[in-house]
Chains A and B, each alone.
Chain A
């Protein structure tokens, strides 16, 4: 098991380097430099020239890439051009907020998604099926910002619509993200349950004369939730990175906001830092899913695999 995990982690290193490389190459051809955009209307050519020199902004991208990689491998993600703080401290401050949002949103998506999926599966192709699936799918069928704007205007005065200074501030953004993810969970629960319902042992249970509801809850659900649980680990990690839009709309000081601001201000160290971090979280989430999977189902061994 340990060997497997080590191997998986080692494999991610080239992926991360690839990600860093990709950004460096692409952003090196985009017009714009961090100093000019930061000075904005107060543009002063001599100041920009002097500071660019000091910040090594005039070096070719491959030189900067080399230095960046060297520092990063030594655990130094650099200093944000725009925010003038160390990238690791910026991420360390922003991440708990994004995580809080992602976990709440994930919980909401399960609360909405799993019951909707179960009901839909039991009443396959009935009105209830379509209604519940329709409700769950609505969240994935409109852009998150449009749901967000509607909620902001509906709940203004009842719930906070911007910022992140109390648990109440979490409710609306988590609802937006959670509803968005609920469609996926509902779909998965439904199809997984449908499949189990066709299995022989369920038929046997039915034949024994057990009531349908207890059949479903006692036997089918147990097995069908297996992939759903695996999905949850993957989902939390994808929610973490998916919060970009929601964080922007609700002005939540999370990692997604940092990333978008970093692109807009050509803040290479900050962009690299957030992307590396988010990518690592996604990869870690998938790894966690794999491990969880093998723990939940002892028939599966991630290594060996007989």
Chain B
């Protein structure tokens, strides 16, 4: 018997040795020191931390003043030039020349790294006066050269950037990207604290565009030194923002700590932990445990009803506007939605109010345009009625009096879309349309969509920057109509969208966008706008000064937030 026991022991020891015992937890080599500062995992972890961290000293008691927020998917990098999807870290560790903030209830462009700016009368030359009191996390002072470098890095073909659209309107940017120039002609440092950006053609939303995370400003020295580890290695990723990257355990959590030298004053939090929690129910469980401080219910919508329906959370809900909307996209290259009468019939056969009330606890309002409230140019559009009888008549007129088949596409693992699609499936069956729901995994879904082959699908869009261009141009230019699988055909709209971009007169520009919107939504029924949701976030009692961002993004800056435990 002894032999077996000793064998078992030997096996256990060998396996233990392989796994390096404690090192399985929070093992990230030299960077562990920083993690410990922000570790909130409780008593048991101390022993494990100390096995790997050499002399990890925390400046604050672990977890005392750290903010814990969930993320549903892991981000590949926090280099915003190379990633188009995940902005929570960039918004907290970098700054932009300008920011978009809500001032007196209206979203406005406000100074940030740029103190002030002037625009030439022809709308082509932007001159920015930069602050002279800003330093990067590595101690380097912020200068005009860093801005020029940042723009050049984005357009440098060797960077393999994905957000090149952010600067593509600058003169010479495209030539740089195509390898025909060794710098971006339109980006110049006039002196140490003045930058001049010249555009190819006027671009109305240029300033709003500069406020997006994609236009975060990097430090030349640090970024060049980091090479391809910029945005990946926490120690090499440097910005000017209120927080600094401290540690990153992939698929587990990312830690940011306070930047005491922040130019607007040090933040009140000691740091932020972004914890990977893919499952919405688990996010709720962890919120109830106090392991998460803030859960954004608009990215966790299955939990909306639970929190709204529970009186205990009444005082924990922070609401705000959401500059975005949900809508159904019809593919005009596919039957039966190639017929405008069918598109209108579908629109009238869907009882949007009931869906909003029953599935989303009524937390929002119906919209009838692609320009939701809170976005420049939003207007009162004509209501799209719920009228199944008229829908049937339209279908009969289109030759589908005996019913027709319709495919609705969606991504797998999207329970929210699935629920709504099933409701729509049952509503459309009332007017004789037989719906089949096709689920595809993300990769297949996006690949098919890019080729214009996706059938009817539910989409949503939230403003990246505050301009109607961000909604209408994104979906309805000739090229975008294909890659967004609506295949909307209206040459006037294509032309108007290009015209509007180059218009300098704001009022005329907005009027044109409303004309475009009416043509697309009301006349062509290219999409069915559903509703604009209230942005609802559930925050713990001890979280103070949390505000919903102007556009209702889940990813926000936590600079103003403080904790009172």
Contact = CB atoms under 8 A, between A and B. Distances in A.
Most chain A C-beta atoms within 10 Å of own C-beta, residue among B76, B83, B252, B253:
B252
Given A31-B443, A160-B291, A251-B279, A36 B450 contact: yes
A103 B277 CA distance: 24
Contacts of B502: none
Contact of B4 (A33, A83, A94, A229): A229
Nearest to B8: A229
A45 B77 contact: no
B24 interface: yes
B141 interface: no
A83 B288 contact: no
B45 A229 contact: no
A153 interface: yes
Contact of B42 (A37, A168, A236, A265): A168
B443 to A, nearest CB: 3
A253 B443 contact: no
A225 to B, nearest CB: 6
A300 interface: no
Interface stretch (B11-19, B126-134, B349-357, B367-375): B11-19
Contacts of A196: none
B162 A47 contact: yes
A264 B443 contact: yes
A204 interface: no
Given A36-B446, A232-B11, A251-B276, A83 B44 contact: no
Contacts of A162: 275, 277, 279, 282, 285-286
Contact of A39 (B162, B285, B288, B461): B162
Interface in B154-200: 157, 160-165, 177
Contact of A84 (B84, B85, B232, B249): B232
A83 B251 CA distance: 10
A233 B8 CA distance: 10
Interface residues of B, number: 72
Interface in A72-118: 82-85, 90, 93-94, 96-97, 99-100, 103, 107
A166 B46 CA distance: 9
B253 A163 contact: yes
Contact of A165 (B252, B277, B447): B252
B25 interface: yes
A166 B19 contact: no
B176 to A, nearest CB: 13
A147 B446 CA distance: 33
A261 to B, nearest CB: 7
B251 A94 contact: yes
A249 B276 CA distance: 12
Contacts of B449: 43
B448 A163 contact: no
A217 to B, nearest CB: 8
Contacts of B445: 32
Contacts of A248: 278
B74 A83 contact: yes
A21 interface: no
B479 A165 contact: no
B57 interface: no
A30 interface: yes
Contact of A93 (B15, B27, B44, B82): B27
A257 B251 CA distance: 8
B486 to A, nearest CB: 13
B252 A99 contact: no
Interface in A144-182: 149, 152-153, 156-157, 160-169
A103 B19 contact: yes
A165 B41 contact: yes
Given A39-B162, A97-B24, A163 B447 contact: no
Given A31-B448, A54-B160, A36 B443 contact: yes
14 contacts: A32-B441, A37-B442, A38-B162, A39-B85, A40-B446, A45-B450, A84-B76, A93-B27, A93-B28, A107-B12, A157-B289, A168-B42, A232-B11, A253-B252
Interface of B: 1, 3-4, 7-8, 11-12, 15-16, 18-20, 23-28, 39, 41-42, 44-45, 48, 74, 76-77, 82-85, 157, 160-165, 177, 228, 232, 249-253, 275-279, 281-282, 285-286, 288-289, 291, 441-450, 461, 479, 483-484
Given A36-B446, A84-B76, A160-B291, 11 more contacts: A30-B443, A42-B84, A47-B165, A97-B24, A97-B25, A149-B281, A163-B275, A163-B276, A165-B45, A251-B251, A296-B4
